[in-house]
Amino acid sequence: MKIPTLVRLLAALAAVPCGAMTIDDPGAGHRLHMLTPRGYLPSAAVLVRVEVRDAQGRIERALWDATVRLATDAPGVTLSTNEVRLWNGLGSVLLTLGGGGGDFNLIASMGSLTATQSMASLAHASVTAVGGTLAGEATAWSGVILITNDVIVPTNHVLTLEPDTLVLIEGVASGTTANDLLVNGALRSLGTENEPVTITCADARLRWGQIRHTGTLLSTAPTNVYRHTHITLGGRAPGEGHTGTGPVLRPTNAKLVFDHCSLTDYAQTVRGVAGYGTPGKVMQARDCELTFIDCLMARARMGPEISRTSLFCSNTWIVEMRGNDDADGIYPHDQGAGQSIVFSGCVLGSGDDDGIDTLGSEVAIEDCILRDWNNRTEDAKAISVFNGATAVRHSLIVDSTVGIAAKWSSGPTTLVTLDHCTLTGNLTNVLANWKANAPGPYIDYRITNCVLWGGDPVQSDFGPTNFSIGYSTLSEPWPGEGNLEADPRFVDVATHDYRLQPFSPCIDSGSPAAPPDPDGSSTDMGYATFVAPPPALQAAPPSSSPGLFQFVLTAYTNRCYVVESSADFVVWRDVTTHFQVSPAMIIDDSAANGHRFYRVRLAP
């Protein structure tokens, strides 16, 4: 009976479960990654960005909340704080360093994970002072640069910031006039992961002004590139737009690409402290093309406010926007002809007003997490739609005052499309909203394959005709084909694990018209596609039929599985493709002879 013994071995290997991730044990292949400059000056602040990455190098968004501890190996060096808060696997802190100075190692730790970064003192480094209009056609900065008054990059001039450049800008304590970097030509900030560029204030107690990109026509504008660049402590500039605060980045008729950049610490974000929500926000842009890839925006009055501008925002975190009014994650106005606004793989969390606040724009949101927009004094919303059209797919919207609110003031009907989304933990999940400047009622929600669970799942200031809902589960009865009033059975709400438990009513219950899930089964409701537990094989009692071997397949039902055999672990042949209709079923192999190894996998 050697074959059954071998089958049992393979079954044991196939059935090892994947444990839930915890701070103490993030799981195999995870690592802590710390991004900091290589050098520092005690007078200037240092941004420390920390990420938990999985085995594929992706930020681990399933790590909902965590704290990373910081320490040094030099007793004479002190840190202004020793904690970094992570939001879905990523966080940052702006440090000031005290004590005797000198070189040291900065050590980050979280549970069993650690990361170390060497920090070299630049106290004796040469400093190049600059100001005024740059001469010639090109300038390259490296080392330590001190901007003592406005720097102008003229038309047709290219300013390059080499890797590991530290740009210090002399700042001011108050007001809206400070040193600026005025780019009429092009800027290339070419940091690397190991040698980022830093643009910050020369004195960590002060703030500088803004970087202003100004072109004549968008069609002929050069592309400005910021790569692995930390831009901190700006915002002493004239107030503009939604909040009347100073934008640190002020492009007009410009093309900008931000790749692995951190744009942080432009406002006081501690409630009750003088200057709360001032002085700066991230950006005010008009007639631009913007790209953000793997970026972080944090601790400002608000994120970018953009108009007549295309935006592609991928794998970017926008968190901790604070202020007494309009502290939004991002505020996209209507774009120009042919321009698109796309968010993909982003996290927008924890602000005083709205995560994404639209104004007449057409916006696509895909595979995003929006969380903790829950300031009731501001009527905060994860997504606020004012006119235009917003499409949200495969996204998770939780723990906010309102998940999505839509308003209409004029023009075409406001359209909101939700597909394969989970909204839960919100006081109201979806809202057709009346306001004095948006009287409605022309609001059209089209919701399919979604989970609207808890709180008030659907609310209208007008009537139920604002909503067309199908193949979704809600925490109240709602008419519509395929709708359920059934607990979705999340894995663990307390730890923000919104995956579906086995045999959740949402599994395979989505629209028959939707494409199947990756495992070939009917689509599920909600954000998280259900992944069946690994199948297992074990030997059945010997068959009385000569040449017939039987074994038991234990597997999740309503799925197809491929059973294979091999005599040498090299060449495998298909035994059968099997549809599992009950948890345990007998599988026959009539071609069994000699020694055989068996394995089973989910069939796509």
Average the pLDDT over 317-335 and give the result.
96
In whole angstroms, give the CA distance from residue 91 to residue 335: 31
pLDDT at 23: 66
pLDDT in tens, 165-208: 999 999 999 999 999 999 999 999 999 999 999 999 999 999 99
Cα atoms found within 13 Å of the Cα of residue 406, Cβ hemisphere only: 30
Q: How confident is the model at residue 553 (pLDDT cuts 50, 70, 90)?
A: very high
Q: How confident is the model at residue 18 (pLDDT cuts 50, 70, 90)?
A: very low
pLDDT in tens, 60-81: 999 999 999 999 999 889 999 9
Q: How confident is the model at residue 99 (pLDDT cuts 50, 70, 90)?
A: confident
Confidence check: pLDDT of 88 > 50: yes
Tell me the percentage of the chain whose pLDDT exceeds 90. Answer: 84
Average the pLDDT over 241-267 and give the result.
97
In whole angstroms, give the CA distance from residue 509 to residue 473: 9
Burial category of 84 from C-beta neighbours within 10 Å (exposed 0-12, middle 13-18, buried 19 and up) = buried
In this predicted structure, which of 250-264, 410-424, 465-479, 539-553 has the lowest mean pLDDT?
539-553
Placement of tokens 């990654």 in the chain: 33
Confidence check: pLDDT of 375 > 70: yes
Q: Which structural domains are found in the chain, ordered by start?
A: 2-16+533-602 (no CATH), 31-121 (2.60.40.10)
3-class secondary-structure state, position 42: coil
Q: Are 451 and 421 in contact (CB under 8 A)?
A: yes
In whole angstroms, give the CA distance from residue 107 to residue 118: 9
3-class secondary-structure state, position 219: helix
What does DSSP assign to residue 507?
T
Q: State the DSSP H helix or E strand holding residue 105, giving kind and residue range, or none if neither.
A: strand 104-110
Confidence check: pLDDT of 381 > 90: yes
3-class secondary-structure state, position 488: coil
Confidence check: pLDDT of 402 > 80: yes
Q: How confident is the model at residue 1 (pLDDT cuts 50, 70, 90)?
A: very low
**In 428-548, beta strands by DSSP E:** 428-432, 443-448, 451-453, 456-460, 467-470, 473-474, 490-492, 497-500, 536-539
Tell me the percentage of the chain whose pLDDT exceeds 70. Answer: 94
In whole angstroms, give the CA distance from residue 92 to residue 317: 11
pLDDT at 2: 34
Average the pLDDT over 119-124 and give the result.
95
Placement of tokens 């939700």 in the chain: 418
Buried b (16+ CB within 10 A) or exposed e, 541-566: eeeeeeeebbbbbbbbeebebbbebe
Q: Are 499 and 486 in contact (CB under 8 A)?
A: no
Confidence check: pLDDT of 15 > 90: no
pLDDT at 592: 64
Q: How far is CA 399 from CA 21, 84, 324, 402, in A?
A: 21, 22, 20, 8
pLDDT at 287: 98
3-class secondary-structure state, position 274: coil
Confidence check: pLDDT of 294 > 60: yes
Q: How confident is the model at residue 21 (pLDDT cuts 50, 70, 90)?
A: low
In whole angstroms, give the CA distance from residue 569 to residue 312: 46
pLDDT at 567: 86
Placement of tokens 């940091």 in the chain: 191
Confidence check: pLDDT of 590 > 50: yes
pLDDT at 597: 86
Average the pLDDT over 539-544 and give the result.
74
pLDDT at 377: 86
**CB atoms near residue 570 (< 10 Å):** 6
**Whole-number mean pLDDT of the chain?**
93
Q: What is the DSSP string of 164-205?
A: T-EEEE--BSSSS----EEESSEEEEE--SSS-EEEEESSTT
pLDDT in tens, 466-483: 999 999 999 999 999 999
Average the pLDDT over 532-556 and give the result.
83
**In 229-327, beta strands by DSSP E:** 229-232, 246-252, 255-259, 262-264, 280-286, 289-293, 296-300, 304-307, 310-314, 317-321
pLDDT at 12: 34
pLDDT at 431: 97
- What residues contact 112, with CB distance under 8 A and at least 6 apart? 24, 25, 26
In whole angstroms, give the CA distance from residue 305 to residue 387: 17
**CB atoms near residue 170 (< 10 Å):** 17
Average the pLDDT over 117-131 and give the result.
96
In degrees and rounded to multiples of 5, residue 53 shows phi and psi of -110, 145
In whole angstroms, give the CA distance from residue 358 to residue 384: 6
pLDDT at 546: 66
pLDDT at 543: 66
Confidence check: pLDDT of 100 > 70: yes
Q: Are 373 and 319 in contact (CB under 8 A)?
A: no
- The candidate with the shortest Cα–Cα distance to 447, out of 490, 477, 416, 475, is 416
Buried b (16+ CB within 10 A) or exposed e, 133-161: ebeeeebebeebbebeebbbbeeebbbbb
Average the pLDDT over 162-167 and give the result.
98
Q: What is the pTM of this model?
A: 0.94
Q: Are 121 and 141 in contact (CB under 8 A)?
A: no
